[in-house]
Amino acid sequence: MAWFFKADSANWLKGPVSLENEEELNATTFQTYVYLVKVGKPIGPRDVMRGANLSSPSVAYRNLQKLVDFGLVVKDNYGNYVVKEKVGMKGYVWIGKTLMPSFAIFGFIFIGILITEIAILIPHLVVGAGIEESFWLLMVLTIVTASIFLIQALRFKRKPQNINPSI
């Protein structure tokens, strides 16, 4: 069972909520949802098809109906769809209107740590002071950790898993 947190709600501190209906969002439905969040205004199925790079308006319509069924999207009186509520999904973090894999955030944190380590290392190299072997080990571990997180983030972004949202 997948979990999510409400991104725009004060209730997110209460913890994860699960979806009673176990249908999953496939990659194209997920792509449709992300596109609707990025647009941020009501749009029709044809616009969704073009913007989310879907194969036909019927695919866009089917994905929009799934999102309406999940309660993530609402249809207005003109037949346009708009995101009802932006939700966080397991393994992803919203930064503004951009959905990033959580691995990327951790990778950037470790890059920041690596930059700090390099800033500490440079004065020691300039002065010719001795550097402990444990510091070199720390730098190697930081580089490896940052690399692993960033590679996983790229893999996660390119090949989205089936995601199960809930409200």
Question: Over the stretch 142-158, which tens digit does the pLDDT of each residue have?
Answer: 999 999 999 999 887 76
pLDDT at residue 116 tops 80: yes
Name residue, tokens 């996983």.
Answer: 152
Q: What is the pLDDT of residue 56?
A: 87
What integer is the mean pLDDT of 19-32? 64
Q: 88 to each of 50, 62, 92, 141, 165, how far by Cα in Å?
A: 24, 22, 7, 30, 8
pLDDT at residue 5 tops 50: no
Q: 104 to each of 24, 34, 148, how far by Cα in Å?
A: 24, 17, 10
Q: What is the pLDDT of residue 160?
A: 52
Name the nearest CA neighbour of 97 among 81, 83, 107.
83
Structure tokens given for 57: 């308006």
The pLDDT tens digits of the residues spanning 47-67 come to 998 888 888 888 889 999 999
What fold is seen in the domain 4-93?
Arc Repressor Mutant, subunit A (1.10.10)
Residue pair 7/20 in contact by the 8 Å Cβ criterion = no
User: Residue ranges of the domains in the chain?
Assistant: 4-93, 101-158
Q: What is the pLDDT of residue 64?
A: 92
Calpha distance 153→33 (Å, rounded): 20
